[in-house]
Amino acid sequence: MTTTSDRDTSANYDVNKFANSFNSQDESNVQLISVTPKPEQSFITKRNGAAHSEFGSPDEKNKFISLNSAPVQLDPGLDSLHRSAQFTNDEKHSLDHPPPDRYRMVFFIFLIHGIGILMPWNMFITAKKYFEDYKLDTPTSKDATYRSEFMFYLGIVSQVSCALISCVNTFFQFGGRASTRRIAIAIFMMVIIFIFTVILAMIDTSSIPLIFFGLTMASASLLNCCGGVYQNLTFGLAAILPMKYTNAIVLGTNLSGVFTSVINLLSIAGAPNPRTSAVYYFIVAIVVLLVAFDCYFLLPLTKYYQYYLKSVHGSQPVDEKKMACGDYLRAFVDSCKTYWVVIKKIKLQLFGVWCTFCVSLVLFPAIQSNVLMVRETFTNENGTESLRTVTFSEEFEKKGYWTSIFTFLSFNLFAFLGNLTTGFIKWPGPKRVWIPIVLRALVLIPVYLLCNYQPIGVVRRFPVYIPSDIVFILAGIIMAFTSGYYSSLSMMYGPKEVEPSMMGRAGMMMAFFLVLGITSGVNLSLVLQRLVTTKLV
């Protein structure tokens, strides 16, 4: 943890460095710099060697963005803000007094990034009906395994790719930090892939369902590779800020799910044609990612973020272009040693975030989306037995509202509320947060499997012991709320358990274990299906 003396030392170092820069100048230069402009004169500042005239009050222009910030570059992250030798009066203020985050601008920037991070994953899984009941519902693929187990394949391909790329992005840190320009590249690539997805939706693929399936899996894999880089680095950027900014990303990821679920419901209600519905649905993702792309360039220009950036003391980045093969190997070894130190300090929080997301992805979406409405047997007037739904109409389930509302919307909405709750309640503490997380797993997994879980093309090995839609809905709410609550707690606790210079690494390590938990859960969900069901003879 950073002590007061550490911050004072940091402040003295910056002030001394500033003073020395004046001592090295000749007398005439000092006199010129000491001149104070009159109030009626236009305010003159010097940026990158060129004089610029700023009209109006300098204090007014200095509220949100620093006047001597460098121009926006492709790499405006932890290792690339180039500041001039001069400082404004506000920037000479003691480092013990951070500037305010006016209108919570930085908070909302990270919230938007959280929405963008999980947009690809949420868009694909929420479009379950589009893939399974429209694109893959053809004579040649109707009974195919890749249709009946589409969600499992989608989850495995997506999350394994995300975990692998996240691992590479986490451990291959040269000079202590990954180049944040990867965020801009990742977002750009995600937009391109979504454009390709829209084109696939517009093309008739009924004669080539297997090729469509392969292209969809490839698109999902590439999207989540980009998403892994995006997520990993964004958590690293937020780790140097107070805990609520890390929570803003987690909040955004669940808000992304709520957003996509609502858009999906609107597309079902407003566009009966599945193809038209899918086109508009995926175009929304493109718009959101473009907004996140703009926010990437806005973040380093905010004075609030610059303040915390200057308070972090870490190694300077190394120019990767000048590194030989041996340098890469040594950098990788050094990175692993540093991460091992971080892991030992935050191992409980790493386990907490892994277990939370593992259990959530075991149940959602693969198992939860295949829990059908409960039906009861009744005798017709002619004496024959038939089935009828208990809580909602047959049309409610047939049109997709049952899954859209009580799987996707319910999970994302209550996970979002769980995230919000951590802003008021933080219990238990960082050393005991793993206990309720483990209890959550032991209770919820059996409950889900005992409900009316009926995947396509298989039969259960044992009867349904909880024939109640209400119990299933309540279990879904509890699972979602605790997922949002405990994932936020774990993600916030982790970076604050290490020294300030290691916060960025801790944030990236937490993000890596988040992805690892998702990957583990997706694969375990397929194992559970094999244990509970068997193929139709």
Residue 431 sits in a domain of what CATH number?
1.20.1250.20
In a domain, 378, yes or no: yes
Number of Cβ within a 10 Å radius of residue 246: 29
Q: Extract the tokens encoding 284.
A: 């929304």
Name the residue among 224, 182, 190 with its Cα closest to residue 77: 182
Is residue 33 assigned to a domain?
A: no
Local structure of 208: helix, strand or coil: coil
Closest CA to 102 of 154, 129, 66: 66
Q: Is residue 287 part of a domain?
A: yes
The answer as to whether 95 is a domain residue is no
User: What is the number of structural domains in the chain?
Assistant: 1
Residues contacting residue 358 through CB under 8 Å, at least 6 positions apart: 441, 517, 518, 520, 521, 524
For residues 118 and 249, give the distance between their C-alpha atoms in angstroms, rounded to a whole number.
10
User: Of the spans 177-186, 299-308, 351-360, 489-498, which averages the highest pLDDT?
Assistant: 351-360
pLDDT digits (tens, 9 = 90+) for 432-482: 999 999 999 999 999 999 999 998 778 899 999 999 999 999 999 999 999
**Percentage of the chain lying above the pLDDT 70 cut:** 76
Q: Does a structural domain hold residue 61?
A: no
Spatial distance between the Cα atoms of 316 and 463, rounded to a whole number of angstroms: 61
Coil, helix or strand for 44? strand
Structural domain includes residue 413: yes
Predicted local confidence at residue 75, as pLDDT: 44
Choose between 483 and 49: higher pLDDT. Answer: 483
pLDDT for the residue numbered 453: 94
Identify the helix (H) or strand (E) that includes residue 377: strand 375-379
167 assigned to some structural domain: yes
User: Is residue 314 scored above 60 in pLDDT?
Assistant: no
CB contact at 8 A, 498 and 346: yes
Q: Is 39 within a domain?
A: no
Going by C-alpha positions, the residue among 194, 209, 200, 202 that lies closest to residue 148 is 209
pLDDT over 90 at 69, yes or no: no
CA 132 to CA 148: how far, in whole Å? 8
205 or 18, which is more confident? 205
Gap between the Cα atoms of 190 and 227, Å rounded: 8
Say how far apart CA 106 and CA 332 lie, in whole Å: 32
Write out the residue range of the structural domain in which residue 512 sits. 102-535
The confidence score (pLDDT) of residue 172 equals 67
